Amino acid sequence: MREEAIIRTLWLSFQYIKDMKVNKTRFCPSPTGLLHLGNLRTSLFSSLIAKKDNGSFLLRIEDTDLERSKKEFSTAICNDLKWMGLDWDEGPEVGGKEDSYYQSERIDLYEEFYKALLEKNLIYPCFTSEEELKIIRRNQIASGQPPRYTGVWSDATEKEVKDELDKGNKPVYRFRIPKNSTIEFKDLVKGEQSFSTDDLDDFIVRKKDNTPTFMFANAIDDSLMGVDLVLRGDDHLSNTPRQIALLESLGLSLPRYAHVSLFTGSDGAPLSKRNGSISINDLREQGYLPIAVSNYLSRVGHTIVDNDLKTHSELANEFKIDNISSSPSKFDMDQLLYWQKKAVEELNINECSIWLKDSLEGLPASVNNENFVALIKDNINFPHEAQEYLNNLFLTPLAQREEIINIIRSAGKEFYLQACDAIPSEITDWSETTKNIGSITGKKGKELFMPLRCAITGQTKGPELDRVVNLIGTEHVLKKLKEASAL
């Protein structure tokens, strides 16, 4: 029972103190794909917690999966975090006390810990094949037992190991989980946790290609890098007692843990492209504003009492681990769009012009850029909508706008010719001009306003027509009305 006493004593003395300051959090993605909303939320939470306590936020790239890890994904992750304003204090590009923050460049360091564990007989070579493991798991499930490694190589003799090596077989190395013990800790989100070590199998710490597993390198680096709060998805909750046992066996410091419930799709299933998973690159290309994404994600599985758009610093001040929900949270596109709209509303005209810059190419030189932005700003959420306004007002022929052709044709050629006759040489009061058109044509209400809107703007809704007319001028209004008369 010695191991149990040690682990119990260690974790009873390491209970969560509510007001304990967080010195360092971390985000440690694997560069095997683009960053998506689920892991971005983890990164945001970790960043906000660090910022709230004036601690540091560390970025570490866990690229020990040499086959799947790609440099372009590491670069993309860094670019996505920077775009979001989640600047890290330590890690790739900014440096720190470590020689490298890429695990693939820390292999020699891990070797020292493997040696220490071997000397203590705390890890051992295992030659069980994948096929053998499948059979073991199948038999365990059939007999109603949880599927796990049985420890068949834990007591192998030197001769048995040598015989396998002589055959050219390569082993993995497994960590010996203490037996007849209990690992207890208090999770900052989930509360008290207790695991019997008899329910935990001897896990792999070193793969056949001599690279470390996530379970090993992740725990070692968190300790060596001084991370004192590990915030991650609750799919890692069962990994925590294993990593605690590993760190304790090496005499390394332990972080506190906060396991956040999963971020699921709109259907309750894990996020995927089918049910709402969006890469950060996709969000950026669609024109989402970083502050909108931050305000949305900071409220997914975490309570902020008001609906005010907040800066990163303001979000950090509001962030509380106590307010993190222990239940799964679903992706909600409507909520993301809500925050996007609020973020666009907060932009001033100059900021909005910069955001829309690429979408304003083709705007006639006679039209003031900022005046056009001021006209459409309250009616758009994304840059492509600004491009649509521009196209409809100035570039796309009315004949190509199928959704308005019937309205224009129903109004008739004579309506538009009479409207042209009613327009003065210089429109100074569009309301008065509209009355004149109505008086001449005999039209009123929707039968008057909708055909005019469709002809002048190329669409059925948008800014008030008087503002549109003031922007585009009398000559362009006449041009559009004559174009409508020809349909």
Domain coordinates of the chain in residue numbers? 280-349, 353-485
Q: What is the pLDDT of residue 14?
A: 47
Which among 110, 86, 88, 90 has a CA at the least distance from the CA of 98? Answer: 90
- Please write the tens of the pLDDT for every residue from 203-218: 999 999 999 999 999 9
If DSSP codes are grouped into helix, strand and coil, which group holds residue 260? strand
Tokens of residue 49, six digits: 């917690």
- Please write the tens of the pLDDT for every residue from 125-157: 999 988 888 888 888 888 888 888 888 999 999
CB 433 within 8 A of CB 423: yes
Decide whether 280-349 matches 353-485 in CATH topology. Answer: no
307/64 Cα distance (integer angstroms): 41
CB 225 within 8 A of CB 98: yes
Tokens of residue 448, six digits: 């008057």
CB 232 within 8 A of CB 259: yes
Length of the chain: 487
Distances in whole angstroms, Cα of residue 256 to Cα of each of 4, 43, 234, 239:
19, 17, 14, 14
136/176 Cα distance (integer angstroms): 19
Architecture label for domain 280-349: Orthogonal Bundle (1.10)
Q: What is the pLDDT of residue 15?
A: 44
Q: What is the CA radius of gyration of the chain?
A: 32
- Note the pTM of the prediction, 2 decimals: 0.89
CB 450 within 8 A of CB 407: yes
Which among 289, 276, 273, 467 has a CA at the least distance from the CA of 382? Answer: 289
- Please write the tens of the pLDDT for every residue from 411-432: 999 999 999 999 999 999 999 9
Backbone angles phi, psi at 5, to 5 degrees: -65, -40
353-485 CATH fold:
Arc Repressor Mutant, subunit A (1.10.10)
**Quick check: 460 pLDDT over 90?**
yes
306/360 Cα distance (integer angstroms): 35
Tokens of residue 9, six digits: 């004593």
If DSSP codes are grouped into helix, strand and coil, which group holds residue 327? coil
**Quick check: 19 pLDDT over 60?**
no
CB 69 within 8 A of CB 37: no
